[in-house]
Amino acid sequence: MANHAEERLRQLGISLPEASSPAAKYANYVIVDGLMYVSGKGPSGQPRGKLGVQYTTEQGYEFARLTGIEVLAVLKEGLGSLDKVKRVVKIQGFVNATANFEEHHKVLNGFSDLMLEVFGDQGIHARSVFGAVSLRDQLPVIVDSIFQVEE
């Protein structure tokens, strides 16, 4: 079945930024045996703060969606076309939140919903989400991800 992710992206009115550079000495992605592992990414604009203090669940959802756009930019840079993504395999999200914040899953839905919009049924994935006492640069959300791709 053909993947029409590039067309879906256009229909959604999303233009991808250039892929952000790694924050330290590591690669943006690595491809091994048909799987593309994308390093942890946060939302564009580098917002700083914690869910449950500076940000609401709804704002966290938007940050997770923006993080998804960052990941799509890395995929596009690495593969040349999002149409080479066969499947979204696994998403792991980290939410910078207070100890009593309980809506981590609703925050990460921003990322998951975007993957479904762009990749259709191939966007359905396994996922985990964790609350974090802190994240690099005080980002509200970081997501790392695994994709099955055409090499």
The CATH number of residue 106's host domain is 3.30.1330.40
pLDDT tier at 43, thresholds 50, 70, 90: very high
Pairing of β 141-149 and β 85-96: antiparallel
pLDDT at 94 over 80: yes
Q: Which of 4, 146, 2, 25 is nearest to 75 (CA)?
A: 146
For the segment 38-61, the average pLDDT, to the nearest whole number, is 94
Indicate whether 46 belongs to any domain.
Answer: yes
How many structural domains is the chain composed of? Answer: 1
Indicate whether 56 belongs to any domain.
Answer: yes
Indicate whether 74 belongs to any domain.
Answer: yes
Indicate whether 114 belongs to any domain.
Answer: yes
pLDDT tier at 23, thresholds 50, 70, 90: confident
d(CA 7, CA 27): 28
Q: What was the pLDDT predicted at 46?
A: 79
- Give the domain range for residue 20: 5-143
Q: Give the helix ranges, DSSP H, for 80-134.
A: 104-119
Indicate whether 150 belongs to any domain.
Answer: no
For the segment 85-93, the average pLDDT, to the nearest whole number, is 98
Q: Which residues, listed in sequence order, are joined to residue 92 by a DSSP beta bridge?
A: 128, 144
d(CA 115, CA 88): 7
pLDDT tier at 3, thresholds 50, 70, 90: confident
Indicate whether 44 belongs to any domain.
Answer: yes
Indicate whether 101 belongs to any domain.
Answer: yes
